Amino acid sequence: QVQLQESGPGLVKPSQTLSLTCTVSGGSISSGGYYWSWIRQHPGKGLEWIGYIYYSGSTYYNPSLKSRVTISVDTSKNQFSLKLSSVTAADTAVYYCASQRVSSGYYGYWGQGTLVTVSS
């Protein structure tokens, strides 16, 4: 059973960079077959796709966030990470990491989510 766990600061100051890491257990990122993804949910709102990375390092980002997002992978640690630069209060959200099946597009495994608040 694959499990994902987000970690990182819960409070980030405006204009700084939000950094989160997702640790995968019960499966190897390097095994292929999955896009390792970040999704966020603003308080009381719907889900927003941020982007994903394949184990090879190929990335795809939401066009609306592309200029500020970087997703990277560390296969040796079985982790992947999110960096979102120049944050504002509008980036306050619960951030989820999830695995997306390449062939079918569904998110079968999710982390529990971590709330990141942007405030001075």
Nearer to other proteins, 49 or 75 (CB): 49
Whole-angstrom distance, CA of residue 16 vs CA of residue 35: 27
Coil, helix or strand at residue 119:
coil
Write out the two tokens for 37: 């993804």
Supply the minimum distance, in Å, between the C-beta of residue 76 and other proteins.
26
Supply the minimum distance, in Å, between the C-beta of residue 14 and other proteins.
26
| Footprint on this chain of other proteins (rule: CB under 8 A) | 37, 39, 45-49, 52, 60, 62-64, 96, 100-101, 104-108, 110-113
Supply the minimum distance, in Å, between the C-beta of residue 1 and other proteins.
12
Q: Residue 92's Cα: distance from chain center in Å? A: 14
Is the CB of residue 50 less than 8 Å from the CB of residue 68? no
Nearer to other proteins, 80 or 107 (CB): 107
Nearer to other proteins, 15 or 64 (CB): 64
Number of H helices, E strands in the chain: 0, 11
Supply the minimum distance, in Å, between the C-beta of residue 26 and other proteins.
16
Only one residue has tokens 């509008």, namely 90
